[in-house]
Chain A
Amino acid sequence: MRAPAPQPSSTSSSDRAVLRDVIVTLVWIAVMLLVAEFAFRAVVPQLSANSRSIAASQTRAAEMAAYDGPTVLILGNSISGEGIDPELLNEALQGAGSSARIWHQPADTTAMRDWTFELQNLFVARGATPDVLVLPVGFEQPLVRVNARTEDLYQSFLGPGDLRVLFELDAVEGLEERSGARLSRLSALYGFRGRVQKRILVALVPGYEDMWGAIRRSAEQEDTELVTNDAWAERMHDMTQELGIDVIVVAMPSVALEGRLPPGDRELAERFGWTVLEPAADVAFDETERPDGFHLTEPARERFTTLLAPSLVARLADLTEGM
């Protein structure tokens, strides 16, 4: 740093001292952030194990890759996590004499965009290409919706080369968004900050999550975290076609859907040749079974899985015949 002054010699030595201080300070901050980054990376598996099932996905992918028979992967979010019991479905398959086996990968707040990267990077890239993919959709997250605020998405599901596709399909433009996405991908500290904040606030503030639930219920505004972008459904279709994966869409019994796929999604599924199952279309789920409107209680989960099992087993029998 150089500044003009009446006495050049003394000023330049003072300038050098300031410049040195600037550099030392920046190095200090960088080192502190690096230390925090590495400390953070040590706890990321715990964070993602709960929220994204990343650690468990490795086991699932390994089992699936090693399995000698038709494989079925359910990719979903917390709605399917708390709505479908894979063990019950596997028992139903076994009972029907099917050799097919189901793995369930429910990762919170994910939607179609996340599922494409999960399928690509957590399963197919690990040699686990399912024969059938099941996509349960519920609440306001049907086939053409993506969650705009999955902050740790970049850490969990994206490979280094995926940002280009992400920017293209999400129409991410401008320095701001692209830099933020890249930073989220590069840094666990930055990418997972939303989840850390939430953990801190959940620990500190009793009723924090209930507060947001109440606010969302009373707010007039739309849930701005969800955006419509059917480009991701198109990509999923292209990917599954290329890999020879059959797709089944299951309408969950949550509010906004009530067990039926919205007309736009139905058209999309028909166009793609995807099977649509609506086991709860004519069955009511009351408030005691889905207290927040979209997550089922344990008994309701069992009830819905029992409703789903016959149609799913029958369809899987058709799809996996001869495998």
Chain B
Amino acid sequence: MRFDSFAFAIFIVIVLPLYWRIASVRLQNVLILVSSYVFYGWWNQTFLLLIALSTFVDFAVAKAIEASDDPARRKRLVIISAVTNLGILGIFKYFNFFIDSAVTGLQALGLEANAPLLNVLLPVGISFYTFQTLAYTIDVYRGKMKAEHDLLNFACYVAFFPQLVAGPIERASHLLPQFSVPRTVTMAQWRTGATLIVFGLVKKIAIADNMGPLVDAVYQSDPNTVSAPLVFAATCAFALQIYADFSGYTDVARGIARIMGFDLCINFDKPYVSATPSEFWRRWHISLSSWLRDYLYIALGGNRGGKLATYRNLMATMVLGGLWHGAAWNYVLWGFYHGGLLCAYRVGDVDDHLPERGPLRVAAAIPFFVLTLYGWLLFRAVSLEQVAAFTSVFFGSWSDWSVALPMLMVTAWFAIPVVVHHVLARGLRGEKWMPSNPLAWRLCLAAVVLYGVIHARASATAFIYFQF
């Protein structure tokens, strides 16, 4: 079920009033669990078993870890959790990719190779909830939090529908305790929640969905027919599309959670103003990048083993982060590219030399935005051949802007609401950017709704991050 669907509108109109009619926290949690499973099962009921499996395994494993004083046993238990979660991910997301790549590699060496591929769908949101449950078990193992002893609370934490299929990837220490306490909604929570929902939907249906056809038109073209300005313009459009799409989803998720009395973490913080790669990853998909930092980069040794080890760990973290996004080589290349950027900027100590704000920082943000754009080209490309073809196009002529300029202007037009939001939300952490006066707030909200209705594209597309 997508947030921008009629089915979800009906779903939420039923669930929310019912949720607030229930006085008991426990019954509210039952409703959350049932509605979350309905929300996910609307797409595919069979894959609910995977969520249930992940839930039961991590619930049991974490309790067993907590109960044990034997380090070896605790380690074995955390390995069970990792094998289960990464095994689910490996089978459903990466099995075909690795088999196919191995076969292609062997064939390239002139060897006969053939292997069966799995004929399975990729379960929506699998990368999000497996990382979430895995992090919980690791936190219990590291002694950072106590194991949850209430299965209902834990099942709600794993399957909480606002963030189940595309995050944010919530830390158990932040979200899980919220299922144990009474929830209240203040006037401010309701208003900021409603603002997040409306603006998030507008980002998706009025901005991202309008960028999609422009991007697709170029990225589905014959590489021999595209010019450098056209690829540049389409990649700018994609930069807006993926930001509006994913941050829009996060906004709606946070807004719905908020009016249910929950707080979800911030996942985007104006990423395109970043002047360095490390700043970008502190602003883009924050819940994933902090997950990778805490559970992968630091586990690999972080920056504790000298410069070379730090670069190795950065590269490994980013390559795996790239692979997290999808089972394709262009995602690996994207991760490798961002790892390379992180290392290069670290070699130059750019972060330490740049001032916090001012013209120098703005000047540094422009070339980094161009570097980010090339990263999006790697990300959006349909194959490595296309990456090579589009990259070589950049070394050709830049004279023909006849199609690219209108495309950039269309992108700029649709970027206006995002830029306005960025300017208004400066220093206010995103959601309190509308006027606080009730009348002015309602007028603004209605104006945003009207903008969304007029600019909504006729054919909606799925959120990009659903596939991850």
Contacts and interface: CB of A to CB of B under 8 A. Distances in A.
Interface of A: 1-6, 11, 14-15, 17-18, 21-22, 24-25, 28-29, 31-33, 36, 149, 151, 175-176, 179-180, 189-190, 193-194, 196-197, 200-201, 204-208, 210-211, 214-216, 218-221
Interface residues of B, number: 53
A18 B445 CA distance: 16
Contact of B20 (A2, A21, A215, A218): A2
Contact of A218 (B184, B225, B410, B459): B225
Interface stretch (B87-95, B125-133, B398-406): B398-406
Given A32-B450, A193-B455, A221 B220 contact: yes
A36 B456 CA distance: 15
Given A18-B187, A220-B220, A220-B221, A33 B450 contact: yes
Given A208-B410, A214-B402, 9 more contacts: A1-B17, A3-B20, A3-B183, A4-B183, A4-B184, A190-B456, A197-B210, A201-B413, A210-B402
A4 B402 contact: no
Interface stretch (B21-29, B61-69, B103-111, B273-281): B21-29
B44 interface: no
B182 interface: yes
Which 3 A-B pairs have CB atoms at the shortest separation, nearest pair first?
Answer: A32-B446, A211-B406, A179-B6
Interface string B223-249: 001100000000000000000000000
B194 interface: yes
Contacts of B406: 205-208, 210-211
Contacts of A190: 453, 456
19 contacts: A1-B20, A3-B20, A3-B261, A14-B184, A14-B187, A18-B186, A21-B438, A29-B449, A33-B453, A36-B450, A175-B7, A180-B458, A193-B454, A196-B454, A197-B454, A201-B410, A201-B413, A205-B409, A219-B221
Among A21, A29, A31, A151: residue with most chain B CB under 10 A = A29
A299 B261 CA distance: 69
Contacts of A1: 17, 20, 185
Contact of A2 (B6, B23, B217): B23
Question: What is the interface of chain A mostly: helix, strand, loop, or mixed?
Answer: helix
Among A17, A36, A216: residue with most chain B CB under 10 A = A36
B407 interface: yes
A151 B459 CA distance: 10
Interface in B447-468: 447, 449-450, 453-459
Contacts of A211: 403, 406-407, 410
A221 B191 CA distance: 44
Among B191, B216, B446: residue with most chain A CB under 10 A = B446
Contacts of B376: none
Given A190-B453, A193-B453, A205-B409, A21 B402 contact: no
